[in-house]
Structure 1
Amino acid sequence: MSSIIAAPDASHLPLHLVEEGALDAVTATLSEGHANWATANGFTGALGQLCILPGADGRPSGALLGMGSAVKRRRGRFHAARAAAGLPDGDWSIASHMTPAEAEEAALGWHLAAYRFTRYKADKPQKARLVLPAGVDSARLAAIVAGECLTRDLINTPASDMGPEELESAFLHLATEFGADAQVIRGDDLLAENFPLIHAVGRASSRAPRLLDLRWGTEGPRLTLVGKGVCFDTGGLDIKPASSMGLMKKDMGGAATVMGLARMIMGLGLRLRLRVLVPAVENAVGGNAFRPQDVLHSRKGLTVEVNNTDAEGRLVLADALALADEEKPDLLVSMATLTGAARVAVGPDLAPFYCDDERVAGALAEAGRAVADPLWRMPFWDPYETLIEPAIADLDNAPSGGMAGSITAALFLRRFVTGTAHYAHFDIYGWQPTAAPARPKGGVGQGARAVLDALPGVLGL
């Protein structure tokens, strides 16, 4: 059953959003019995505090949700969705005044709170349903939720069931659903088609590497999305310790996120020409694995000295970006769970992004704030270019020293985008380490909703 219903009626139960310190203003609108009940239960409006109001027949007749202080609310998002798990079965409508942005966030958060990953184990569904707040576009909401749920499902699926072949199947299913054209280049055909870096990273796995390519739309500006699809990352011959390998099923989070974003775009029927590129590989250990100090050739013609086989994501992205750049799209976006350095810099909740264009960067940052999809701009810092230039090749995939790791990775990728005017790279985490409102523990999309919101201004849609 859906967690959102569209049309309000008198049978719906009111949910009052109460700021801390403003309880009297709300209880003044309630019956004396309900006001006394809230006071007797110690309800203060503290953030997340829930008080269910009883009816004369003992069944719920409404509820109060604490929204805390303005300072506390700034420490998180999707606060109205805190009620979703605690309310009993019923159709609930928010009785408090909300701005359009607050109404959209409440509806989206409520719906995302209902997400369950049930492929391997049943889970209790969310019982409370929300009446769609006035002014919220139900079709847009449905498209965004469907895209985010696709992203979460892909990331949450372990590598045993989400290798390159299974990611390809999900990719082709997405293309079929929306009538898009899709092509796949697999195995040694990658060498014949000049994708040597993708082949080098994935060749040691028993599951063949491949490049997934989707096209949709026949008119409008060109948007190309490139997502890192490393379905599992052992680190290769520079093998990861067990403590670092535990979450590597999520190393295809960039691919999952661009596929979710593509689903939003196609679901909304935006007037643009969309292309999605996903290099899908498994970085495995084998006799034919690429080695430290190997020098690899790229589609762009640049040579790359491998100084760490665990810095493989930038290699597969490089060939895909070079292909995307040959078409010179109006906007090129790459997304990848690329560096631990980004997590050290900004933690798991912020998605750092890189963009040289002030207009595009500003639009993305503003969109992130508007749709509760937080971003943080990082610099393409030109003085660090020398760090990615080794002695015997054009580029170094893993500069020594360990400093500015996210920046040097972004600079590496930028070397493969020379003909496209507007390029943005997102170094995402793709994982919610602890449950939060609208975000259960597990795979999560980052940056997709911000990009979607920014597209009209950036591309003139």
Structure 2
Amino acid sequence: MTLPAGLTRDSAVAVPLHVVTRADFAEWRAAQPAAVGTWLDAQGFDGSAYTALVVPDTDGSIAAAVIGVGDRLDPSSYGHAPFALPACAWRLADRLDPAETAALQLGWGLGSYRFNRYKQPLRAPATLEIEGDADDMLAELAACLRVRDLVNTPTEHMGPDQLEQVCCEIAERFGAHIDVVSGDDLLTRNFPAIHSVGRASHRAPRLISLTWGNAAHPHIAICGKGVCFDTGGLDLKPADGMRNMKKDMGGAAHAIALAELIMSRELPLRITLLVPAVENAIGPNAFRPGEVVATRAGINVEIDNTDAEGRVVLCDALAYAAEQQPDLLLDFATLTGAARIALGPDLPAVYSNDEAVAAAWLDAGAQLRDPLWRMPLWRPYWRYLTSTVADIANGGPSKMAGSITAALYLERFVPLQQKWAHLDVYAWNDSDRPGKPTGGEAQGLRAAYAMLKARITG
């Protein structure tokens, strides 16, 4: 198995690495040789989070290093190390408990990541030697890096056809079945809402469907918003709002990565992955404000704003998923700027019609330091989606509760008895931070995987 950048299985020349927090630094320092203590004092090192210090040997070579972390169970606490330390191999000098070790290794892998398809990083990361069974950690790391790579790739190389290719390659690797409905076949197969959003692009809209697993196992349906670029349509976005819209398929990236993770770890689940993949482009046949769009569920939608297109493509996918009566239906979507206004870039907004599902996802996020925040399906806000000519509008004149109304719109296409949860995710780091380089980011993904594992094991 090829390891990602920053991790190695074996190194004969690995240098000892110590991990401390500010709270336990004094105890650790007292156990060090006098010369090391003098060096630490001279450098003013006190174990503060996101710090690192190399300890020299008597001949001027590197004897060891120490990194300061905050929360030992938070992978991001270790994300600074790969580029704060010299680019050599390091091995853990102190015993950590398994959860801390996994967090260190995962955080190191995330911190080592640089998107290098078009530009090579200035230096290689330091490498960490991993020991024992790290397969779960490596699979979760691969899923997170999959999201980053998909989101970071510009639309010219990650359009609906490339998303299809990614899914086909995954299906072939794991023996999954794949079905793709594209272009005008969407109308024939009754996916009119997906077609209406994507019809103006030179790249045909499509619904990508991947199925895998034993029919006797619990069935999980996973939908991901795959708007590969969002101009806003005829309700055109301003330049600053359009700049990063290659990331509007971030929901699809999460859904694909979660399905791939489940298959790679061979969880006893049956999964259906659905990715409605489109470009919201401008053209002579672009869908217009005021149009009434048919949907698979038979609910007619008035288009209030063509920039609220994600919910329009998702509603057909959700309806199709619900027809299969899965035990649980999850969707991921970079759906609203309102969620970012409410919660900022680091906290995805989770909605659910099932208390146990919501609690399980939130609990997993808290344990894994993969945070989410629950938002309410406040149904009185249905009034913001009222249409005078159709069953529902995809938006309205009010700017109130934008993330909630988007979730309510999606809920309309989920049957009452269907357990469902929706993650309004940013999928993006808006600034360089330790372990979180600017660009695509996996959020709530590890928590979703842990929640599904817990459902199996009880």
Name the TM-score, length of structure 1 as normaliser: 0.94
Which 4+ runs in 1 deviate beyond 6 A? Answer: none
CA distance in 1, matches of 2:293, 2:221: 25
Amino acid at match of 1:107: Q
**Deviation for aligned residue 1:64:** 1.7
Q: Structure 2, unaligned stretches of length 5 or more?
A: none
Distance (Å, rounded) in 2 between the aligned partners of 1:67 and 1:274: 38
CA deviations on 1:261-311 (whole Å, 9 max, x unpaired) are: 111111101011011000000001111111111111100000001100100
User: Does 1:192 pair with 2:188?
Assistant: yes
How far, CA to CA, are the matches of 1:322 and 1:423 in structure 2? 12
Counterpart in the other structure of 2:371: 374
Letter in 2 for 1:115: Y
- Give the equivalent residue in structure 1 for 2:166: 170
| Cα distance in structure 2, aligned partners of 1:368 and 1:401 | 32
User: By how many angstroms is 1:119 displaced?
Assistant: 1.1
Task: Find the counterpart in structure 2 of residue 14 from structure 1.
Answer: 16
Aligned ranges for residues 112-261 of structure 1 at < 5 Å? 112-124=110-122, 126-132=124-130, 137-218=133-214, 219-261=216-258
The percent of aligned pairs where both chains have the same amino acid is: 46
Query: Are 2:434 and 1:437 aligned?
Result: yes
Counterpart amino acid of 2:36?
Answer: H
Aligned twin of 1:98: 96
**Cα offset for 1:77?**
5.5
User: CA 1:21/1:446 → structure 2, altered by over 3 Å: closer, same or farther?
Assistant: closer
User: Contact 2:384–2:395 at 8 Å: present in 1 too?
Assistant: no
CA contact under 8 A between 2:225 and 2:275: conserved in structure 1? yes
1:423 to 396, 399, 420: 420
Q: Is the 8 A contact 1:328 1:420 kept in 2?
A: no
Residue in structure 2 matched with residue 42 of structure 1 by the alignment: 44
Matches of 1:378 and 1:21, distance apart in 2: 35
Number of the residue aligned with 2:68: 66
Aligned mates of 1:56, 1:401 — CA distance in 2: 69
Which residue of 341, 350, 360 maps to 1:344? 341
Task: Give me the whole-angstrom Cα distance separating, in 1, the residues matched to 2:355 and 2:412.
Answer: 19
Residue 18 of structure 1 and its aligned partner are, at CA, apart by: 2.6
Q: Quick one: distance in 1 between partners of 2:125 and 2:314? A: 42
Q: Which amino acid aligns with 1:32?
A: A
Coordinate RMSD, CA, aligned: 1.9
Alpha-carbon contact 1:107-1:133 (below 8 Å) kept: no
Superposed displacement of residue 97, structure 1: 4.8
Whether contact under 8 Å (1:159, 1:249) holds in the other structure is yes
Extract unaligned runs of 5+ from structure 1: none
Say whether the 8 Å CA contact 1:330–1:420 is kept in structure 2. no
Count of matched residue pairs: 454
Equivalent residue for 2:264? Answer: 267
Query: Counterpart of 1:5?
Result: 8
- Name the TM-score, length of structure 2 as normaliser: 0.95
Greater displacement, 248-257 / 120-129: 120-129
Note the C-alpha offset of 1:369.
1.1
SS at match of 1:166: helix
- Asked if the contact 2:79/2:434 (under 8 Å) is kept, the reply is yes
Amino acid paired to 1:113: G
Whether the 8 Å contact between 1:163 and 1:282 is mirrored in structure 2 is: yes
Report the counterpart of residue 299 of structure 2 in structure 1: 302
